[in-house]
Structure 1
Amino acid sequence: MTRKPTRRATFQQPDDTPVVLPHVLITVTESGALDVTVDGTAFPPPAAGTEWTRGTFGPLMDAVTKDRTIAVRIEVHEVDGTVFTDLIRSRKRTTPPPTDDDAAAPETRRARRAKHTRTPVLIEVTGDGFVPGEDIAAAVIVSHTDATGTGAARALLDQRQLDSLAKSPHEVVLYGRISGTVVVRRVS
């Protein structure tokens, strides 16, 4: 009896995806300074004679993640003994600007359509109480509902509510994914 050879699926990791995420350990000192290590190696601030602080948490995360191009696992040890952990994801890569060689190529339908679209009108929504550098979710409230006697909630949305978002005033929720801070603002 001869054995038939088995085929094994091979999975290839992209070259820039680490098998294990870098581990960032931040210890808050009594003075409020942050001692930072990445995979056990000290991560000093960019300028000599300075230190990482809560106020520089955002720039620290940008430096550790190389401007959000790599994902990291973060662990923060507070002075009182509490520990916070999170994964900081990398952002999607953007396409590089066109080169001179690309300029000679014919325009795509998408590029022609983009020229004729309206410029977006931006509305600023602000709030305080978030951890510096944390990921903030922004959501538009289109409906309200009540909780049942058991604490459950159910929302039924009419497609027309979603279609009318730009036509009427709404509330916006800013939700801090690390701090749990919730800010609700009315926009018109």
Structure 2
Amino acid sequence: MLPHVVITVTETGALEVTVDGAAFPPPAEGQGWTRGTFGELMDAVTADRTVAVRIEVRESDGSVFTDLIHARKPTPPQPAETEPRQPRSKHTKAKQAPELVEVTGEGFVPGEDIAVALIVAHTDATGTGHARARLDVSRLAGLLDDGVGEVVLLGRVSGTVQVRRLP
């Protein structure tokens, strides 16, 4: 279940924030959340975008806006300059180029997000409502060995479902 963040904008423009019903105070005493600190607030609530949350903003005029802030994949740390690089030996295999399989479908809403299941990737529909996904066969090798041989294209807006057998 996603954490539910409610942000209420007061008449003065200050933001009152709760997360799952509990008050979420600003980091510094005496300072409050404001529209100007909204980015910092989102970073604090989502732990620098590592946690997905549902946001509800209640404006002082009575209007309400909702959104989902998706977590992003953490960026792996770069090796420190002091770490020696491992020399390549003649026994080290070069990384092979991926072997790709193309899966297509139609009937999607132009520009909609398409889920590609065994959920290994997502793609977008073209301006004509067609979708195309290119899959790295090496990522699917273990699954294919287990007898899985189909891919599902699911239109997130249209609900269009296309099931395709892998070659």
What's the TM-score, normalizing by structure 2? 0.50
> Which structure is higher in strand share?
2
What's the TM-score, normalizing by structure 1? 0.44
